[in-house]
Amino acid sequence: MRTRKIGKLLVAAALAALSGTAFAQAKEPVRIGIVTSQSGGFTAQGEDSLRGMQFAVDEANAAGGVGGRAIEVQIGDDESTPEAGRRVAEKFARGGYNLLVGPIASSISLALGQNLQRWDALYVSTLSKSDRITGDACNARMFQANHSDAMDLAIVEPWLKENAKEKRFAILANDYVWGRDSAESFTKAVQKLGKEVDVTLYAPTGTKDFAPYIAQLKNSGAEAVWVALVGRDLIAFAKQAAEFGLTTSKRIIGHAYIMSFVVKATEGATDGVWGVMNYAPEIDTPRNKALVAAWRKKFGRDPNENEVAGYNGVQVILQGVAKAGSSKPTAVAAALSGATLDTVWGQATMRAEDHQLVKPNYFGRVKRLDGQLRPVIETAFDPAVVAPAPGACKL
């Protein structure tokens, strides 16, 4: 396990003069434990997400912290596994960094959720999409700040109804919680429209050779393929799908496929692919405009989906601390439940019934715009369509 600490950032001298003291000395800091993938299959997403989380911390500290309290973080590598994630999170929580954020894999988020009360901690999910997080595994101390599987799949049915002439589909998904949830939900959406899923294939996480899967997909009677792969697996598949002609023989539709880091890493292999989009820089809200402008100033480019997801997770925690007037996990949890939060998607409600942040969602396509290949929003869906009613959660 690797850990490192980001030092406290002091506010500008002028602010310190106004307060009469350096704010790092005035009050105890707000301590956040960042548990994310710095090695293993989710490294690319983990690095992006971490960049967004660090940006949110730096931004908040430069503005004076939360109620005059600096934000201090520790960062640990979950190694893309539930076992390592739980170990890192427990170490942080027992060391006082008990406002937790950061895992990519749903299996890691679920492992953390089981232990929050024992650790006296709170956890905000930023990229884990399993419906179980706000379903049968929900927790009064756990919050889902990102779009869930259910929110992504809620827009698939109306999109298919208006945009897909195909009648027969195939599915390729990672063989773990998120991939299976996605496959099952997509199957239900397809069947509800009177269409068929001919074949469903599950690839173990860490698969490098997708040729056997691609051959089965090409030889199936399906006209389109739903893909629910992540990280290195997705990048490998995208390259091979283009190489072996799958992307030209069948329409590819992805759950988390048309993301900026995938487009960049696959050198044109995603051109024309459709899929769910949770974020785009052109979203027209005050907070998103401010974020994009600040991000461009620092990095010379727009933020991507994973970076914004990390940024948003820290923002949710900090707004919870501000509303609670405390960084105690129980107080922050109580303040967040049912709260309206200011996000890059606009004003969004953290639903009290299951702790799902309800916000818009999008469907788009990878295409060349202004000379650059990137995901572009084609259809926006408002929260009334996006967020299904609470399910099995009992808080």
Q: Does 158 share its domain with 257?
A: yes
Q: Does 18 share its domain with 132?
A: yes
| Domain count along the chain | 2
Q: 196 lies in a domain?
A: yes
What the block records as the tokens of 73 is: 């973080």
Q: 393 lies in a domain?
A: no
What the block records as the tokens of 76 is: 């640990």
Please state the three-class secondary structure of the chain as a single string.
CCEEEECCCCCCHHHHHHHCCCHHHHCCCEEEEEEECCCCCCHHHHHHHHHHHHHHHHHHHHCCCECCECEEEEEEECCCCHHHHHHHHHHHHHCCCCEEECCCCHHHHHHHHCCHHHHCCEEEECCCCCHHHHCCCCCCCEEECCCCHHHHHHCHHHHHHHHCCCCEEEEEEECCHHHHHHHHHHHHHHHHCCCEEEEEEEECCCCCCCHHHHHHHHHCCCCEEEEECCHHHHHHHHHHHHHCCHHHHCEEEECCCCCHHHHHHCCCCCCCCEEEECCCCCCCCHHHHHHHHHHHHHHCCCCCHHHHHHHHHHHHHHHHHHHHCCCCHHHHHHHHCCCEEEECCEEEEECCCCCEEECCEEEEEEEEECCEEEEEEEEEECHHHHCCCCCCCCC
- In one letter, which amino acid is 46? G
Burial 106-126 (b: 16+ CB within 10 A, else e): bbbbbbbbebbeebebbbbbb
Q: Does 208 share its domain with 142?
A: no
Q: Does 244 share its domain with 368?
A: yes
Contacts of residue 24, defined as CB under 8 A and 6 or more positions apart, other chains included, come to: 8, 10, 70
pLDDT for 244: 97
| HSE of 145, CA atoms in CB hemisphere, 13 A | 35
Q: Does 212 share its domain with 300?
A: no
Q: Look-up: residue for tokens 């969004």?
A: 348
pLDDT for 24: 44
pLDDT for 230: 87
pLDDT for 383: 92
Q: Please check whether residue 88 is in contact with residue 77, taking contact to mean a CB–CB distance below 8 angstroms.
A: yes
- Mean pLDDT in each 10-residue stretch from start to end of the chain (395 residues)? 41 35 67 97 93 99 97 98 98 98 95 98 96 94 95 92 95 92 91 96 97 97 96 95 96 94 92 96 96 98 96 99 98 99 98 96 93 92 86 86
Q: Does 329 share its domain with 380?
A: no
pLDDT for 209: 98
Q: 395 lies in a domain?
A: no
Q: 394 lies in a domain?
A: no
pLDDT for 22: 47
pLDDT for 392: 87
Q: Does 376 share its domain with 272?
A: yes
Q: Does 205 share its domain with 257?
A: yes
Domain containing 254 — which CATH number? Answer: 3.40.50.2300
Write out the residue range of the structural domain in which residue 269 sits. Answer: 151-277+361-386
Q: Does 376 share its domain with 241?
A: yes
Q: Does 168 share its domain with 300?
A: no
Q: 392 lies in a domain?
A: no
pLDDT for 10: 32
pLDDT for 55: 99
Tell me the sheet residues that pair with 118. Answer: none
The predicted model scores a pTM of 0.85
Q: Does 92 share its domain with 15?
A: yes
What the block records as the tokens of 129 is: 């999409």
Q: Does 167 share its domain with 51?
A: no
